[in-house]
Every structure is written in structure tokens, then in C-alpha cells.
Chains A and B, each alone.
Chain A
Amino acid sequence: MPERGSLDHDEVLGRAFDRRLARRLWAAARAQRPLLYGTLALFPAIALAELAQPYLMKVAIDDHILAGDWLGLSVTAAAYAGTLGVLYALRSLEGYLMALVGQRVTHDLREALFGHLLRLEAGFYDRNPVGRLMTRVLNDVEAVSEAFTSGLLAIAADVITLAGVVAVMLWMDWRLALVTFAIVPLLAAVAAYFRIRARDAYREARRRLATLNAFLQESLQGVTVVQLFARERHEHAIFRRLNDDYRRALFNSTVFEASLYSSVEALGAVALALLIWYGGGQIGAGALTFGALVAFIQYTNRFFLPIRDLGAKYTVMQSAMASAERIFGLLDREPTIVAPEARSVVPEPRSSVPAIEFQSVWFAYDGDAYVLRDCTFRVAAGEHVGLVGATGEGKSTCARLLIRAYDVTRGRVLVDGVDVRDWDLERLRRRVGTVFQDTVLFTGTVADNVTLGAPVEPDALGHALEAARARDFVDALPRRRDEPLGERGANLSHGQRQLLAIARALVYNPAILVLDEATSSVDPESEWRIREAMQRLLTGRTSITIAHRLSTVQHADRILVLHRGRVHEEGTHAALVRGGGLYARLWELGLAAPDGTGSNAAPAR
């Protein structure tokens, strides 16, 4: 039996900042580069306008106010007003463009991720809970887009402003400037110290979040079970633990930011004190004007502002890197089941070739726990075959192999005489239509669920519903075919869901139809009617019907009995019953009442 081990855990990841990763991120934003450059182009203008303000202040104080020149003062004030207007316009534009870049990167990455997920094979989904994948598509993508807006662009803006401030300060009074800068090496030391400790905290936080979301998502799906068994408190305790783990990881990841922020603020205050102490002396000595000191203090504030926020930006970049690793990790996970590009053939169905053929198929979901062992059978074109066997024997597995949801371990599966691995996947799945044991319905109307969004004549839809015996109940719904269905068809009875799934397969209209327990929850009368309708619809087509209720398959042209991973018996119902094998035993049992009180059911004997 398959060894299913534990579910895939999020891989342990590589280094904190990865140049390769940064390059890929940059490449991912390719489409947004004109916008990025446009935004970058705004920065020098913004920096210029910002830097002009303290200088205008200095001019106003030193040249006009002290000189009592009111005309000059008015002109300077007008210039100041001008910078304010320009700044407003530029900042609005900057804010809008930044958001646009961020949102578009998010949009593009989401699209890429979702598209990729659609191509991944069934085995991948066996191991990766939906909630965890959703975290990638929703949260991780957002973190990455922040790398562009709050990270990259903001850092660029800061660097430009910083360079401007430094230049202006040096130009105005290099000695005073050096007093301010004296504090910088200390800052660098502080930053370096915290950075080392920040390393893995970010990844840990992302990982915990994914686990938390996966648990939450599953809880939402299984809530009825929890309620039925009054396990609310137990589940809540598990959730609380996961939630707490995440909170702690999140807190650890922000320690760095908080420490740096506070250190810079404290050091900034030191710098300011130094400045006033030293500058005051200079003014007294007549080496500095009053206006210059005022302007200098303002420049010093602007100098520390970006440095103070550096921690926040580092956090953004780090968590973006952690998310990017996870996103690219997923994007790099190539689907293992793909159509061969060059060789994919479109076979012509010929009656001389069996529609379906299993040639010594061995198959295991995991390791060497084989479900099918040397399984061989053929279904001729136009033949209707029943497939039976005890539960867990691998009937559904056969249906999955047929549409190449999984690849066989050994042997071959042929459809229309061609190995499924040589088929174009989409064509194969158009040829073989399957109604799975687990009915999947989506939110949407009844009609949407049956047509799956394909354009279908209302008539054809009506016929399919009729043949699937779904018409009566659909017409009794308040909005009939436009009745909205809940998630997974929650507002229908189980049998009704199955009927819709059958109608869906009929609309899909495949040449080969596989029904895996398609009528297991349908009453015998409806089932009988459906079979009648199907017999008309299926003439000339090939079908495989999987069922436990032998009455479902007894009319088949041939019945295959699966046992121990291979076809153990085959033949018509009558022949198998006469043969006295496994099938005959199942059949006899089916006639007796299950508590062994004997059979009321064999009047024909």
C-alpha cells in the first residue's frame, strides 16, 4: 500500500539576499519597467524641490528679514509657495505611479502563478494543501510587490534625497556637515549588528503563515465534522498554537526594524544636540549666519529621516525575498505530466484498434506500494464495459490513468491505439470524459455547472438534464437553471449533485465515457432511467462503468473484475454468475439480506 509519509513541507531555504533572486524579480517586473523608470525620473525633481525649501528659509531670514526687505521677502515667500505647489503635483504623481507599479506587479505575478498551478499534475495536489498554495497566490505575491514600491523605489528616492542633502550641507558649511556625519559610522555598526540577527526570522514568519492559512482553509471545509463531534475546543486549541507560533515568528522578524528605528532616532537626537552646540558657538564667533543654522537643522532632520526608515525597508526587502523564493520555487516546479511537443499524435479512431488498452500496467502512487500489478485489459471501440471489485482495489485509479492524471510506473495505457503519453493532453481529455466518484461542483448557476462555461444550445442543455434525470428537480428550483449553487453544490442533495455531474459529462460529449460510481447516491429507479437514456446516447461510443451496485453494471457487454491489482475475471454477467467465481459470490450476496436472515429476493429460482 502507498506510503504517504508527511505532506511536503515548505523547503528550507537558501541565503538571505540572493542576487539571482533579485535578478529574477527584476525580470518579473519587465512589463512595468517604463513605469518604473518614469517614477524614478520624478525623484530628482522631488528632491530638488524639497531641498530648496530650507534654503529659501535661510535666504528669507538672512537676506530679507534681517535686512527688513519686505519686497524681497514676498518674492521669496512666493518662491516657497511655488515649491509647495510643485511638490504636491509631483508627490501625487509619484504616489499614484508607485501604487500602479506595485499593483501591476502583483497582478502579473498572480496570473503567472495561477496559470502555472493549473498545469501541475494530480500528484502535486496530493501533497500540497490548497490553503498553502493560496498563501502563495495571495499573500506572498503581495509581499513581493512591496519590494518594488516600499522597497526598491522608496530606497532609490531616499538615496537621491540623501545625496542631495549631503551635497547641500557640504556646500553650505563643510565643517558643520562633518559634525552631523560624525554619527554615521556608529549607525552603520548598529545596523550591521541587527542585520545578522534578522536573517532567518522572515522566512520563518512566511512559513508559519502558510501553515496557519492551510489549517484555516481545511477547518472551513471540515467544519461540519468538527461540529458534529463537538470538537470545536480541540480544533481551536490547535489553531491557537499555530496562531501563536506565527505571532512569535512575526515579532522576531520585526525586532530588527524596531531596534534600528529606535537607535537612529536616538542617534539623530545626539547629532542635533552636537549641531546646536557647535553651531551656536560658530554664530557667536560670526562664522555662521543665523539663517544658515536654521536651514542646517532642517537638513539634518531630512538626513536622518531616510536612515531611520531604512530598517522598515530592509524588512520589506527581506520578507519580499522570502516570498520571492517561495514563489519562484513554485514556478520552477515543472509539471511532470506534459504532452510531448513534437511527437504528440492525433490518432484516428479505427474500429480495428481497441479504444482502450491497458498493457501490463504497474502503478503505485508512492514508492513500490503497487495498486495495479500487471493489469491488462482491452475495451473495443463501441463496447460498454463494467468494472467492479472490492473497495480500494484500484478502480478509480484505472480511470485516473486513462486521462493521464498520473503516469503509469510500468507498462502502457493506450487510447485509440496510441500511448497516452504520446497524446496531446487536451485532446486526450476531450476524447475521454470522466464522471468522478467525488462530485465537484463550483459556485455558479446550475447551467454554468453543467456547461462549464462552454457555449451550449439551451436545447442541448435541456436534453442532457433530461437524460440525467435532473430536469425535474432543476425545474423545481426557485430560479431553475439559473439557480445559484453554493460551494461544492452545498444547497443540493447528494444525489442531485451526481445527476448534474452526469449531465455535465453528456454535454461534454466525449467519444469514450468513464462513469466512476456516478450513480452511487441515486435511487434505483432514477438510475434505471438514466441507464435507458444513456443506452440511446451511447450507441457507437465506448464506455466504462465502475460500480459497487452490481445492478448498475449487469447490462454491460462485458464485466471486468479487478482483484489484487489485476483483472481477475471477465465476461458477461450471465457467464460470470455461471462461472462461480468472485463475481458470482458478490452477486449471490447481493441477493441475500445483509443480516443473514435469508433472501426474499429470489423468486426466479
Chain B
Amino acid sequence: MGLILALAAANGVTRLGSRFAILGAGQRVEADLRDQLYAALQTFPPELFARHSTGDLMTRASSDVSAVRSLVGFGVVSLFSTTLAFGGALAAMLAVDPWLTACAMAAMPVLVLLARRFNVSLNERTQAMQEQLGTLSGRVQETLAGMAAVRAYTMERRAAAAFAEANRTLLERSVAVAAIQARFTPLMSLIAGAGVLVVIWVGGLDVAAGRITLGDLVAFNGYLAYLAWPTVALGLTLSVVRRGLTSMERIQEIVTAARPAPAEAAPLAAPPSLAFEDLTWGYPGRSAALSGVTFSVAPGGMVAVVGPTGAGKTTLGLLLARLWEPPPGTVFVGGRDVTTLPLATLRATVGWVPQEAFLFSRSIEDNVTLGRAGLDVAAAAREAAVDAEVAAFSGGYATIVGERGLTVSGGQRQRLALARALAGRPRILVLDDVFASVDTVTEDAIVRTLRASGLTILVATHRLRVAQAADRIVVLDGGRLVASGDHPSLLAAGGLYARLWRRQQLEEQIARA
């Protein structure tokens, strides 16, 4: 009796240990995959983000990753134990009676065939379901992130209807997966049961005929019973494995697209000049956004890019920072082709302030430093002329801003983004229309500071008075450089720039009248 208990305890401990090991392993795999996925996403170029919506990627990082956890945790263990059970029980059964074993296993080939057919259709339906889940998350994500517009345009009902439709489709697809599983899973116990049936009948007759003993038959049945549970579980296992593999594919699709993440690096030591040489480039599937653009900025100089909406001003900056890859030999920083520069060096050299400022829902300080050590946040904020406002927030630099920075005003957001770029002490500053939400007084202060700083500046702007402060103005129209020169010479040349300028003059005159 004591021995039994001792054995049971030992059994329990080993089982517990192995179960923890298995669970732990599954969860570790899940965490690792999520980690890899994240690392990959961090290095994604924009064209890949255009292909996968946020909702889609979120689904991969949650639902698909958990499916793989089940594959590793439950699936692998179950496959392993099934194989072991099959091997062991089969050997024992063969030892008792080969003929009976053959009879009992007769149904197995059917099982294999069915399993294969089932696997194919389950795979398809699971894919469809996961995709729809991605679509649904996308809907939810976009609607919630765009609530300001939803509210203002009373779109609630339509948003709800669109959601309901996606939700219904998801329901249909999930039920389609369930329907196939419902047909297949019990089939396994049917087949296991069929084995028992054969043994009772064929084996029973054999015992009656005296070919084998009753003891053998009972033992045989016992071994067969060992097979019953793994066979039944096989159905579940297969669907878990299938789902896990499908999900693994979806995760791999992302992970394999990763690029190496740049390490931190010092800015380029060469004088920070900037040049575009015969740059022609277009977004995939669109006509060229830039055609034959050539101009340069001397170290410490300031060039303004002006031109109508959609002229390609932002595209210039994107190529310069290599967010999109420019053709080799077209974009130069400090005299070196950017495509040959290490990404980290390039990005430490060029500080780019995007047209649409993005803040994280963290403290203002964290938003400016982005975790970079040893930065002078206050000085950067001062240069960006946002220090007074930050000081007035009750939390100061520790104030946490809402998602996307929606709890600070538009102009504050833009200047915080500017401070973020300045804090890293880049040598070249690219400002993409950053004065759009800033009043003239503030704009003035910032331009003065920046001009005095000695940075090489490329500024895209719709405000001609900012352009006027530049050494040279480059006029883009439809992706082509149509004129360049300083303010007086462009006025004298009488092109697009002069027309824009005169328009402004005209308005001023009307206003003064």
C-alpha cells in the first residue's frame, strides 16, 4: 500500500514536471514568436505596411501566435505521446496475436485517408477565418482611431452596419470551420471503437474456438484501450496542428520580410552637404512622383522646396531618409550616396520632421528623447519654441499625452516633433511643412533659431515667407524641378513661384484697401 502511494507520488511529480515543462515551452515559444514578429515589424518598409493593415498585423501577433503556442504545447506533446502509445501498444498487441492485431488495425488506413482530406479543407477554412478576423480587427481599429470623424459626421450607424457585416462573415467562417471539425473529431472515436468491436467479435470467436485464451483477449483489449484515447485525441491534435501550422505560415510571412535593425551610430563627420542628382522615382503602381530632380544644399545652407500639393516635396524627404529606397547614385549626404551609407549613420545625420507629427502615449520627455540617453530636452524644446507651453502643463515634461498626441494642440504636437529631431543634434534638418499649424510669431522664432544654429536645412513649405528666408528656393511641380534660385531672381523669372507670390500680394493689397 505504501509502495503504491510512493509510486503514485513519484508519478505525479514527474507528470507535473513534464506538464510544466510543456506549458512553459509553449508559452516561451509564443513569447519568442511575438518578439520576433515585433522586431520584424519594426524594420518594415512602408510598402509592406501598405500591404498589411494594422488590424491584420495585430491578429497575427495575437491570435496566430496563440495558435502556434497550442501547436507546441498541446499539439507536439500529443503527437509525441500518440506515436509512443501506438508504438508500444502495437508491439504488445503483436506479441499477443498478429492476426487479431491486423483485424483491429484494419480501419487505420481509412483514418489516414480521411485525415488527409479533412486537413486540406480545414486548412482552407482556417485561413479564411483568420483573414476575416484580421479584417474585423482592422475595422475596429480604424473606427476607434478615427472616432473624431465618426462622431462629427454621425457615421455611427454606418460604422455599426459595416462592423455587423464583417462580424457576420466571421461568424459564418468560424462556423464553417466548426462544422468540419464536428464531423471529423468524433470520427476518431468511431474508428477506435471499431477496433474494439472487431476484437470482441473476432477475438471472441477465437476464444470460443480455443485459438487464444480469454486472458490474452482481455490483455489485448487493454492494449487496444491504450490506443483509444490517443486516436480520439488525434482528431483534436490534427486540428490544433493544422491551425498552428497555418498560423505559423502567416507569422513567417512577416518575420522573413524583416531587415536588420540599425544600431546606434554617430553622425557622418564630413561637411553636411546634401544633393539630389537626376532623381527619378515613383511609388509602385503610380506614375513617377519625381522626375529628373537635381539640386544641392551647401553645408550650413538652407533650401526651401515649394510647389503645389502632390508635387513630390514629401517624397524627397522620404527618399533622403531612405524610408523608401532611392535608386543608387541619386541622393547624396556629405558627398556620399545614401544607399551606400549604413542606415544608422544616415539617420543620425539627418533629422527629419514629418508632415504629420506623431506622438506616443507616453510622457512628453519620453516623446522627445525616445529613450536616447544624455539629451538636453529643455534646450531642444526651447529651440522648438514649445518650452513655455510645456512648462504650463501641470505635469511639465512628465505630462502624458493621449494616443497619437491627441491631447495636445496641433501646433504643440508639431513643435514637439521638431524638438524630438533637434534633441538628437543631427547635422542636416529636413522640415516637412512643419509650420502649417504654427502661428506667425512662433514660426518666426523657430526660423531665426534654426538659421543661427548652422544646421544644413531643407524645408518643404507652403508658406512663402518661410521660403523667402532660405538661401535658395526650389520650385517643384508635378515631380519636376521647374525653377530654382533666390527669392528676387525667381520673382524676376516670372514662373509658378512669381504667380504664387503675386497671388499673395494681390490679397494683401485687397486687404489693405
**Per-position 1/0 for B26-70, Cβ under 8 A of A:** 011011001100110111101001100110011101110000000
Known contacts A219-B38, A593-B468: A100-B178 contact under CB 8 Å: yes
Residues of B within 8 A of A549 (CB): 463
Cβ contact within 8 Å between A218 and B403 = yes
Chain B residue nearest in CB terms to A60:
B200
Cβ contact within 8 Å between B464 and A524 = yes
B155 at the interface (CB under 8 A from A): yes
- Tell me how far the C-beta of B321 lies from the nearest C-beta in chain A, rounded to whole angstroms: 6
A21 at the interface (CB under 8 A from B): no
B466 at the interface (CB under 8 A from A): yes
A169 at the interface (CB under 8 A from B): no
Cβ contact within 8 Å between A478 and B285 = yes
Cβ contact within 8 Å between B465 and A220 = no
Cβ contact within 8 Å between B358 and A224 = yes
A20 at the interface (CB under 8 A from B): no
B378 at the interface (CB under 8 A from A): no
Cβ contact within 8 Å between A396 and B410 = yes
Cβ contact within 8 Å between A233 and B411 = no
Residues of A within 8 A of B185 (CB): 91, 95
**Per-position 1/0 for B381-406, Cβ under 8 A of A:** 00000000100111100011111101
Bound Cα distance from A87 to B28, whole angstroms: 38
- Tell me how far the C-beta of B407 lies from the nearest C-beta in chain A, rounded to whole angstroms: 5
Cβ contact within 8 Å between A84 and B309 = no
A508 at the interface (CB under 8 A from B): yes
Cβ contact within 8 Å between A391 and B138 = no
B370 at the interface (CB under 8 A from A): yes
Cβ contact within 8 Å between B343 and A508 = no
Most buried by A among B160, B186, B440: B440
Interface with B: A22-30, A172-180, A316-324, A584-592, which one?
Answer: A584-592
Cβ contact within 8 Å between B443 and A574 = no
Cβ contact within 8 Å between A595 and B38 = no
Known contacts A115-B160, A228-B352, A403-B151: A595-B447 contact under CB 8 Å: yes
B495 at the interface (CB under 8 A from A): no
Cβ contact within 8 Å between A600 and B487 = yes
Bound Cα distance from A103 to B252, whole angstroms: 28
Chain A residue nearest in CB terms to B312:
A493
Within residues 492 to 509 of chain B, which ones have a CB less than 8 A from any CB in chain A?
Answer: 499-500, 503-505, 507-509
B120 at the interface (CB under 8 A from A): no
Known contacts A91-B185, A490-B49, A600-B487: A119-B156 contact under CB 8 Å: yes
**Per-position 1/0 for B304-329, Cβ under 8 A of A:** 00111110011000000101000000
Cβ contact within 8 Å between B401 and A258 = no
Interface with B: A155-163, A239-247, A342-350, A537-545, which one?
Answer: A239-247
B152 at the interface (CB under 8 A from A): yes
Known contacts A231-B370, A265-B15, A391-B412: A594-B443 contact under CB 8 Å: yes
Known contacts A230-B344, A236-B42, A440-B146: A405-B151 contact under CB 8 Å: yes
Residues of A within 8 A of B4 (CB): 270, 273-274
Cβ contact within 8 Å between B512 and A604 = yes
Candidates A246, A269, A298; contact of B11 at CB < 8 Å:
A269
Bound Cα distance from A269 to B13, whole angstroms: 13
Within residues 459 to 476 of chain B, which ones have a CB less than 8 A from any CB in chain A?
Answer: 462-466, 468-469
Cβ contact within 8 Å between B197 and A80 = yes
Known contacts A57-B200, A220-B41, A224-B354: A107-B170 contact under CB 8 Å: yes
Interface residues of B, CB < 8 Å — how many? 182
Chain A residue nearest in CB terms to B359:
A222
Residues of B within 8 A of A490 (CB): 46, 49-50
Residues of A within 8 A of B208 (CB): 65, 68-70, 73
Within residues 153 to 180 of chain B, which ones have a CB less than 8 A from any CB in chain A?
Answer: 153-156, 158-160, 162-164, 167-168, 170-171, 174-175, 178-179
Within residues 439 to 496 of chain B, which ones have a CB less than 8 A from any CB in chain A?
Answer: 439-444, 447-448, 451, 462-466, 468-469, 487-488
Bound Cα distance from A10 to B389, whole angstroms: 30
Cβ contact within 8 Å between B261 and A232 = yes
B286 at the interface (CB under 8 A from A): yes
B92 at the interface (CB under 8 A from A): no
Cβ contact within 8 Å between A391 and B27 = no
Cβ contact within 8 Å between A604 and B508 = yes
Residues of A within 8 A of B509 (CB): 604
Cβ contact within 8 Å between B410 and A391 = yes
Cβ contact within 8 Å between A508 and B447 = no
Candidates A298, A442, A493; contact of B146 at CB < 8 Å:
A442
Most buried by B among A137, A496, A548, A573: A548
Interface with A: B17-25, B79-87, B111-119, which one?
Answer: B17-25
- Tell me how far the C-beta of A158 lies from the nearest C-beta in chain B, rounded to whole angstroms: 16
Bound Cα distance from A442 to B148, whole angstroms: 12
Chain A residue nearest in CB terms to B310:
A493
Interface with B: A123-131, A376-384, A410-418, A457-465, which one?
Answer: A123-131
Bound Cα distance from A517 to B347, whole angstroms: 31
Known contacts A229-B420, A247-B28: A496-B214 contact under CB 8 Å: no
Cβ contact within 8 Å between A100 and B500 = no
Interface with A: B95-103, B187-195, B273-281, B291-299, which one?
Answer: B187-195
Cβ contact within 8 Å between B175 and A100 = yes
Residues of B within 8 A of A551 (CB): 504, 507-508, 511
Bound Cα distance from A107 to B164, whole angstroms: 9
- Tell me how far the C-beta of B204 lies from the nearest C-beta in chain A, rounded to whole angstroms: 5
Residues of B within 8 A of A81 (CB): 197
Residues of B within 8 A of A266 (CB): 8-9, 11-12, 15
Known contacts A134-B58, A232-B42: A117-B178 contact under CB 8 Å: no
Cβ contact within 8 Å between B448 and A596 = yes
Residues of B within 8 A of A593 (CB): 465, 468-469
Bound Cα distance from A3 to B193, whole angstroms: 69
Known contacts A267-B8, A452-B155: A125-B167 contact under CB 8 Å: no
A486 at the interface (CB under 8 A from B): yes
B245 at the interface (CB under 8 A from A): no
Residues of A within 8 A of B164 (CB): 111
B124 at the interface (CB under 8 A from A): no
Residues of B within 8 A of A534 (CB): none
Cβ contact within 8 Å between B508 and A262 = no
Known contacts A2-B394, A228-B323, A262-B19: A87-B186 contact under CB 8 Å: yes
Known contacts A129-B403, A231-B370, A247-B31: A438-B148 contact under CB 8 Å: yes
Known contacts A221-B54, A229-B370: A392-B402 contact under CB 8 Å: no
Bound Cα distance from A224 to B23, whole angstroms: 36
B94 at the interface (CB under 8 A from A): no
> What 5 pairs between A and B have smallest CB-CB spacing?
A391-B411, A495-B309, A99-B178, A266-B12, A91-B186
13 A-B pairs with CB atoms under 8 Å apart are A84-B190, A107-B171, A117-B144, A125-B144, A133-B144, A217-B54, A225-B420, A226-B370, A227-B43, A266-B8, A433-B152, A520-B437, A523-B309
